[in-house]
Amino acid sequence: MKNLSFKQKLLLIGVIPVMILGVLIGFLTYNDAKNIVTNAQKEVIADTVYRIDVNLNMKVRYISESIRSAAENKLTGDLICNFNSGTKNPQTISEMETYCEGITRAFDAISSISVITGTQVLFTTRGEDNPIISRTVVDGFYQKAVEKPEKVFWSNLDTSMFLDSMNDGSKVLTAYGSIRDEGGNVIGLLVVELLPASFSNLLLENQKILSHQYTYIVDKNEQVICADRKGYPDFYNIIEKKFSEGTRRFQFDWNGEKYYACGQYNGLTGWKTFSVISVKNLFADSDSLKNHISWLVFGTVSFMLLAILLMYQSITRPLNDLSKAMKTVQDGNFEFQMDNDRKDEIGQLTDSFNYMVNKINLLIREVYQEKLAQKTAEIEALQAQINPHFLYNALDSVNWMLIDRGETDISNIIVSLGKLMQYCIDTDNALVTLEQEYQYIQDYLCVQKNRLEERLQYSLEIEQPLNELLVPKLILQPLVENSIKHAIEPYKKQGFINIRSFMREGKINISVQDNGCGMSPEQLRSLRQSDKRISRQTGIGVKNVMRRLNLFFGDDSELRIESEQGIGTTMTIVIPAADDINGGKV
């Protein structure tokens, strides 16, 4: 057994195929059962919606026929004829009340029945005398009735057309038909107002078998006429959009949950019936089925796991030995080696362990030696730092001796040289203000002027807003040194260097201009075509300036060189102006 690989041992028992097969069968069984039940429930919902629509058609047709019959009844015609002749026959009104009471008893949906001619209410079951009606609403009724006098119309859910004190603002459904004379002319309207709640019995609450199902009827203006329960979710806009696209059965997402909806359009009224249920409630017992299948799969796999317990001992024993060996190495014994005569994966792991321990032991020795060398270098670097500080202190002592002897000129040079030393050895700040950089150049030029005397003249200009601009330290010194080296020292004439900082076209310009011999057009062209606009002729210091500009200010920064032979050279640092550049306000 010890010569078999670990994989072979597992495959030998057959855990992998049993687990895969068990999970696959469980998954497919659960999905098939869920799909069968879910589809069956969807058909139940669709059948429910269809039956609601059929019952709605029957009720609407029955009420419409009653309205048409009442509009054509002789009592209705007599009522209008009496009105037109200027009389009111109490017997006709009484008979009309009896007739309308019979209609009302037949339909629990009816709230009131009224006969209207023009804008006059000749008769109403509302129990009022001379009620006031909305002229706009009635004119709309008349217009439709004249266009199709033989039809009974159903309006959307709205407030009553009556404007009297009994109108409490509650909404009703209105059905109306035309009253015609013998010549077929519309002479009045029979208007029936119906309570929307009376249509709730159409929702078949007693036939519904699904919990958490919402069923409701809406009119053409998307107002809910009736619903099977209160507090249904506000997802009607989503449903209406899908329905208007021609889809009658669909799923949609609302508030992070999936819902299934089924709708039906009613051709008589233009109303729509919807039934909506959460997808998870289509198969409420899905979790129970899932648990049963999961336990079945778990039991099968557990039985197979018991079968590999015998194999367990042959695997864990060498692993325990390897764990103890690792603990020994963890305690600091990096020369420990394990005996190994196995050919399987555990044997390979043991060989890797022995190799790793040897490698760690070797690396520890190498790292230890490198640390000693690093410490030695740090000590030497610390000692090297003592020299500049010692020199600065020595210069300070010399300065005080010269002051005591009245040698102020030499003292000024010593002070400038000391400031230069102090500025250079300060490594805490890589960025300084432009004003500090100008002060350093002032000290540098002071020392150079003492050497070149009247051959060197200079001026420094800076616009006030640029004083606090942060720039890399020693960004100007290489440019000034380049001017002294190539424009002042080689010639006997008086040299002049102008250092100026200013804003131009939204950018910051820092220029160093001299009146040296300048360059020929060929030299200048060759210089501008070289990498980064800087050639080797300008020196390492000037190339370093360009690299540092790119580092701190990006590729938008540049070092421009302008030169004219016999007149001089100007080197200009150009950096982008912003509200805040490296912390400096400009």
HEC string of 520-585?
CHHHHHHHHHCHHHCCHHHCHHHHHHHHHHHHHHCCCCEEEEEEECCCEEEEEEEEECCCCECCEC
**110-115: average pLDDT:** 85
262-283 burial: b if 16+ Cβ within 10 Å, else e: bbbebeebebbbbbbbbeeebb
Q: Range with the lowest mean pLDDT among 51-60, 408-417, 535-544?
A: 535-544
Return the pLDDT at 381.
Answer: 46
Average pLDDT over residues 222-236: 78
pLDDT of residue 514: 92
Q: For the segment 441-497, what is each residue's pLDDT rounded down to a tens digit?
A: 988 888 888 878 888 899 999 988 888 888 888 889 889 988 888 888 888 788 899
Among candidate residues 345, 349, 350, 353, the one with its CA nearest the CA of residue 329: 353
Report percent pLDDT > 90 for the chain: 6
pLDDT tier, 232 (very low <50, low <70, confident <90, very high otherwise): low
Regarding predicted confidence, which is higher, 263 or 532?
263
Single pTM value for the model: 0.48
Residue 2 confidence class, pLDDT cut points 50, 70, 90:
low
How much of the chain exceeds pLDDT 70, in percent?
A: 79
Q: What pLDDT, on the 0 to 100 scale, is given for residue 139?
A: 87
Question: What is d(CA 440, CA 471) in angstroms, rounded to the nearest whole number?
Answer: 13
Please answer whether residues 546 and 559 qualify as being in contact, where contact means their C-beta atoms are separated by less than 8 angstroms. Answer: yes
pLDDT digits (tens, 9 = 90+) for 299-327: 887 877 777 767 766 777 777 888 888 88
Say what the pLDDT of residue 390 is.
Answer: 44
**Distance between CA atoms of 388 and 391, rounded to whole angstroms?**
5
Q: Answer yes or no: is pLDDT of 163 > 50.
A: yes
Residue 386: is its pLDDT beyond 70? no
Assess whether pLDDT exceeds 50 at residue 53: yes
pLDDT at 344 over 70: yes
Average pLDDT rounded to a whole number, residues 65-71: 86
Residue 582 φ/ψ, nearest 5 degrees: 55, 35
Structure tokens at 378: 């740090």
Q: What is the pLDDT of residues 174-228, one digit of tens each?
A: 999 898 888 888 888 889 988 888 788 777 654 555 667 888 888 888 888 888 8
Name which residue leads in pLDDT, 166 or 31.
31
Report, as an integer, the average pLDDT of 266-285. Answer: 85
Size of the chain in residues: 586
Q: Is the pLDDT of residue 21 over 50?
A: yes
Mean pLDDT of the chain: 79
In DSSP terms, 573 is beta-bridged to 510, 559
pLDDT for position 379: 45
Indicate the range of 103-107, 300-304, 525-529 predicted with least confidence.
525-529
Domain architecture of the chain: domains with CATH: 72-198 (3.30.450.20), 457-576 (3.30.565.10)
State which of 5-9, 227-231, 359-363, 562-566 shows the largest mean pLDDT: 562-566
Of 161-175, 307-321, 394-408, 554-568, the poorest mean pLDDT is in 394-408
Task: Summarize the confidence of residues 486-510 as an average pLDDT.
Answer: 88
Q: Write out pLDDT tens, residues 566-586.
A: 889 999 999 988 654 444 434
What is the tens place of the pLDDT at every residue in 238-253?
Answer: 888 888 888 889 888 8
Write the CA distances from 232 to 195, 220, 224, 339, 466, integer angstroms. 20, 19, 11, 74, 68
Nearest to 300 by CA among 4, 29, 497: 29
**What pLDDT is attached to residue 288?**
80
pLDDT score of 409: 65
Q: What is the pLDDT of residue 502?
A: 93
Distance CA 267, CA 276 (A): 21
